[in-house]
Amino acid sequence: MTQAWVTLTGVDGRDLAAPSEAQLAAVLAQLYARRPRPDTEPASAALRFGYDDGLMYVAEISSDGKLRFEEWSDRDCELALAAPRQMRASLAQAREVWAMMARRQVSRIRELPWQ
């Protein structure tokens, strides 16, 4: 049987397996509180959802409000299953996308108004 997993990579680069809703909200609040400076790259955090022997999805959010969604054939990112999707997201929208990821609702994420 295939096991599903969820991993949060925080602003500090550390991974957290099976994050709670409170942990997701805290990382997003920290991320959106940062103001990107013109001379530096924006900070980012990513939520990954996948299966031990297959598909992986990534929702990465940067401190400038850019949200990127990727679909991969496996955890090693060997084959992209679709072109990356991007949009600008408010804090509330970012919370909703990460909540959908945590609930494995990939089809709902695909239906969002991507640019």
pLDDT at 38: 76
Under DSSP, the state recorded for 89 is: -
pLDDT tens by residue, 81-107: 999 999 999 999 999 999 999 999 999
What are 3-58's pLDDT values in tens digits? Answer: 999 999 999 999 999 999 999 999 999 999 987 777 778 899 999 999 988 899 99
pLDDT at 96: 96
Please check the confidence at residue 1 and state whether its pLDDT lies above 60: no
Domains of the chain by residue range: 4-110
Contacts of 59 (CB under 8 A, 6+ apart): 46, 47, 67, 68, 69, 97, 98, 101, 109
DSSP sequence for 30-57: HHHHS---TTSPPPEEEEEEEETTS-EE
User: Which tokens belong to 19?
Assistant: 């994050």
